[in-house]
Amino acid sequence: MLTPQIIDAAVAAALREDAPWGDATSEAVIPAGATATARLVARESGVFSGGEVFAAAMRLTDPAIETALTLDDGEFFSIGKVLAEVSGPARSVLTAERVALNFTQRMSGIATLTARYVGAVNGTRARIVDTRKTTPGLRPFERHAVVSGGGHNHRYSLSDAVLVKDNHLAVLTAGGLSVTEALREVRARIGHTVHLEVEVDRLDQIEHVLAAGVDTIMLDNFTVDELREGVALVHDRANVEASGGVTLDTVRAIAETGVDLISVGALTHSARALDLGLDVVLRG
């Protein structure tokens, strides 16, 4: 999902943002011929994500920088671990540093938070999935980080799946159609590869929705007891997604209701950056 083309476009834009007309400090302070080695070091433990992005920030700043990644995305690391080693022209390494860190810290932060959720539901059938509550411009990076942390992805965008919510249903049935009829019409309109998910607020809606043959049913803001009852009602006729206000404290109980999917907006909208640093050694 995180293709070289996607990485390079976003990293190049970030480098232009951070040095629109060059790095004044490096140019004024560092001799043109100086070289540097640097280590990406974990200042706290976590799950790694963004290795290729880190390397791209170095390479796009200066093809003369060599980057060796020590971990694959998705691997756990302890405090003090060296995650990557870099060597090349000193000016360039210093110019690339902040952008490389900004990506990797954010992605590893998301991966680490995701891994905590995934760990919390261990042994259940529930997948931890992301949402569209991503940082504008960084969706493929954040979705990749969720996968690094052991999570799964929900739909990518508004274009590739249909998600019918309650106020949609109200409009659909305003003319007298039943919920089932209305959803069958939706299914008839959309492409056969377009996933059809429907959100319900109450247990009594479930049967009407299932009768239309949907792919996933989202139980929104259900209590744990309601979720358990919902799962029983669906009885494997569709995927069941729990959604709404999920936290690390509540996710285990939700998973144990037997739902297939638990979507967590906080994975991407509220993960904090992981503390990674670049230890640079300059040589004249």
Residues with catalytic function: 98, 133, 165, 199, 220
Nearest approach in angstroms of CB 74 to a second copy is 13
Query: What minimum distance in Å lies between the beta carbon of 72 and a second copy?
Result: 11
- Least separation in angstroms between residue 103's CB and a second copy is 6
Contact 230, 201 (CB under 8 A): no
In the complex, minimum distance from the CB of residue 283 to a second copy, in angstroms, rounded to a whole number? 8
In the bound state with a second copy, the residue whose beta carbon lies nearer, of 78 and 193, is 193
In the bound state with a second copy, the residue whose beta carbon lies nearer, of 127 and 208, is 127
Q: Are 195 and 162 in contact (CB under 8 A)?
A: yes
Q: What share of the chain is helix, strand, coil (3-state, %, to 5)?
A: 40, 20, 35
**Shortest distance (Å) from residue 178 CB to a second copy:** 15
Q: How is residue 91 written in tokens?
A: 């000016």
Cβ proximity to a second copy: between 2 and 84 the closer is 2
- Asked if 51 and 71 count as a contact pair (C-beta separation under 8 A), the reply is yes
| Cα-Cα-Cα-Cα dihedral sign, residues 251, 252, 257, 259 | positive
Host H or E run for residue 92: helix 90-120
Measured from the CB atom, is 82 or 163 closer to a second copy?
Answer: 163
Beta-carbon contacts of residue 77 (< 8 Å; ≥ 6 apart): 42, 45, 46, 47, 48, 71, 83
CB 54 within 8 A of CB 108: no
CB 275, CB 105: distance < 8 Å: yes
Strand partners, 37: 87, 281
